């Protein structure tokens, strides 16, 4: 029996525009090989930096492109080592590990179905040291799939300004929207002074190119650029130039539409399967992204369930890995096919219904 993975938060192979990216890589090297193949700016490939800057309406000097956006989080953790950072609960586990490895104290802030709980945030700001920044994934959050409501976005932007709180808005999933209205980003609402923005082309083009980026206050960009220089001199320009060529050819929007349709069918399959197979559970209903957040009924323990699930040919990540409650689980619908999703949820539901062997 083939294991069905709801654990892998990665795009299905058919989401990757393989042939086109091969052409783009060749064209990028042919067009600008002397730059792409040599050492260059530590902040990334200049034409892509310009493209990102224009998209976000900032000076290119504020843009840092890194070998995947996680690498930028490492630079932030180095820069703010030993300080305090506010994070969502639950949140993406890798940044938590990076922050901890740099002696950063993290304060988890509760969330509900509308995203970050701003009262809990205000309380965390009143107690303890002034935080270096708030790390938030307001749209189709990893792991919960939740999206911060528009009203709360306005309030959070205001709060960031008033309290001079640096907010890092991590937004890798925002463009992968299946339905509903696109809310304004915190970066747009606040104006980009207190809100820094990060994203990547992993979900919109291909993760293996490892092209993440940050739009930062100018001074902070310079500090992180110095860390980038000390770490790898120059990021891998061929990946960045391949992305730029893809953008330059006008492939971004049509590809995003194609990818979104592939993922929408998967999201639909998962929500329908949960509805029919696990009516007693609760789950998030994301309008985009990769993840559904499942709350198991009756205080079931997701960690214990996972041990049994592996034997039944289905896997997921327990919510506790992200700071969630013991009965929560992250189900990624991005990697598997709609048929596999239906079968995987059936396997999962059978396990949930089955009384635990004692």
State the residues that interact with a copy of itself by CB under 8 A.
10-11, 13, 16, 18-19, 21-23, 25-30, 33-40, 67-68, 70-71, 74, 94, 97-98, 101, 206-210, 230-239, 242
Nearest approach in angstroms of CB 184 to a copy of itself is 30
Q: Would you call 330 helix, strand, or coil by DSSP?
A: strand
Q: Which two tokens stand for residue 232?
A: 């790898």
- Comparing CB distances to a copy of itself, the nearer of 233 and 356 is 233
- Comparing CB distances to a copy of itself, the nearer of 102 and 342 is 102
**Neighbouring C-beta atoms of residue 344, cutoff 10 Å:** 27
- Comparing CB distances to a copy of itself, the nearer of 163 and 234 is 234
| CA–CA–CA angle 306, 287, 310 (5° rounding) | 10
Instruction: Please list the residues that pair with 65 across neighbouring strands.
Output: 213
C-alpha to C-alpha distance for 313 and 4, rounded to whole angstroms:
6
Nearest approach in angstroms of CB 42 to a copy of itself is 11
User: Do the beta carbons of residue 266 and residue 341 sit within 8 Å?
Assistant: yes
Q: What is the distance, to the nearest Å, from the Cα of residue 63 to the centroid of all Cα atoms in its chain? A: 18
Nearest approach in angstroms of CB 80 to a copy of itself is 15
User: Do the beta carbons of residue 37 and residue 21 sit within 8 Å?
Assistant: no
- Comparing CB distances to a copy of itself, the nearer of 28 and 64 is 28
User: Do the beta carbons of residue 2 and residue 337 sit within 8 Å?
Assistant: no
Nearest approach in angstroms of CB 41 to a copy of itself is 11
Nearest approach in angstroms of CB 35 to a copy of itself is 8
Nearest to 15 by CA among 290, 351, 258, 281: 258
H or E element that contains 169: strand 167-170
Crossing angle for the helix pair 93-101 and 69-79, to the nearest 10 degrees: 30
- Comparing CB distances to a copy of itself, the nearer of 23 and 188 is 23
Nearest approach in angstroms of CB 96 to a copy of itself is 11
User: Do the beta carbons of residue 256 and residue 175 sit within 8 Å?
Assistant: yes
- Comparing CB distances to a copy of itself, the nearer of 15 and 296 is 15
How would you label 294-303 residue by residue, b for 16+ Cβ within 10 Å and e otherwise? bbbeeebebe
- Comparing CB distances to a copy of itself, the nearer of 26 and 193 is 26
- Comparing CB distances to a copy of itself, the nearer of 22 and 57 is 22
Nearest approach in angstroms of CB 148 to a copy of itself is 25
| CA–CA–CA angle 90, 318, 83 (5° rounding) | 35
Nearest approach in angstroms of CB 291 to a copy of itself is 16
């Amino acid at each position: 029996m083939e294991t069905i993975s709801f654990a892998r938060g990665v795009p299905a192979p058919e989401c990757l525009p393989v042939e086109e990216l091969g052409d783009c890589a060749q064209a990028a090297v042919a067009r600008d090989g002397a730059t792409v193949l040599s050492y260059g700016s530590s902040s990334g490939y200049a034409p892509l930096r310009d493209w990102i800057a224009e998209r976000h309406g900032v000076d290119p000097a504020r843009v840092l492109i890194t070998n995947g956006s996680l690498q930028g989080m490492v630079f932030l953790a180095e820069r703010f080592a030993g300080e305090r950072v506010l994070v969502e609960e639950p949140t993406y586990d890798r940044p938590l590990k990076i922050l901890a490895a740099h002696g950063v104290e993290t304060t988890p802030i509760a969330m509900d179905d509308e995203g970050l709980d701003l009262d809990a945030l205000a309380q965390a700001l009143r107690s303890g040291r002034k935080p270096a920044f708030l790390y938030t994934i307001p749209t189709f959050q990893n792991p919960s799939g939740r999206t911060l409501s528009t009203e709360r976005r306005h309030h959070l932007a205001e709060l960031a300004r008033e309290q001079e709180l640096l907010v890092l808005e991590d937004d890798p999933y925002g463009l992968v929207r299946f339905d509903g209205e696109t809310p304004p980003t915190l970066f747009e609402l606040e104006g980009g002074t207190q809100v820094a923005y990060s994203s990547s082309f992993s979900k919109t083009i291909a993760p293996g190119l490892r092209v993440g980026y940050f739009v930062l206050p100018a001074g902070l960009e310079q500090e992180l650029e110095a860390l980038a220089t000390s770490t790898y001199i120059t990021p891998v320009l061929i990946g960045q130039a391949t992305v730029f060529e893809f953008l330059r050819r006008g492939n971004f929007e049509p590809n995003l539409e194609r990818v979104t349709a592939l993922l929408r069918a998967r999201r639909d399959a998962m929500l329908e399967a949960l509805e029919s197979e696990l009516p007693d559970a609760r789950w998030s209903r994301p309008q985009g992204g990769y993840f559904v957040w499942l709350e198991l009924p009756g205080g079931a323990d997701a960690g214990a369930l996972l041990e049994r699930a592996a034997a039944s040919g289905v896997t997921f990540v327990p919510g506790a890995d992200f700071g969630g409650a013991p009965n929560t689980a992250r189900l990624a619908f991005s990697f598997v096919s709609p048929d596999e999703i239906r079968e995987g949820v059936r396997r999962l539901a059978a396990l949930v219904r089955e009384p635990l062997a004692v």
